[in-house]
Amino acid sequence: MPLQIPDSLVTQAGCGPQELLFGLAVGLFMDSRLTLGQAGNALGLSKPEFMELMGQRGIPMPYDVDDLESDLKTLDKFFPKQPVMSA
């Protein structure tokens, strides 16, 4: 579905249509309405490219305690704790 952006909005925002589409994709991603990959695809970017573009613009990735716990479990799975040898 084509999205029509009023010229007045483009003028008021001071950016082009691609920049407005980026803002829309970021907003929908931050609201959990699009995945990272879906937001990137909307711009013709891969997930890593979209993440890099967000980073270049200083937009933080959402990351909460659940994400941290999941990452720690993954690290434990791939890098199990080794017993400490006493001297």
pLDDT surpassing 80 at residue 83: no
Confidence at residue 2, expressed as pLDDT on a 0 to 100 scale: 81
Q: pTM surpassing 0.75?
A: no
Q: What is the pLDDT of residues 35-77, one digit of tens each?
A: 999 999 999 999 999 999 999 999 998 888 998 999 999 999 9
Report the sign of the C-alpha dihedral through residues 24, 28, 30, 35, in that order: negative
Report the sign of the C-alpha dihedral through residues 5, 14, 24, 49, in that order: positive
Confidence at residue 87, expressed as pLDDT on a 0 to 100 scale: 65
Give CA separation, 49 vs 23, 45, 46, 55, 78, in Å: 15, 6, 5, 10, 26
Q: Which residue has the higher pLDDT, 73 or 84?
A: 73
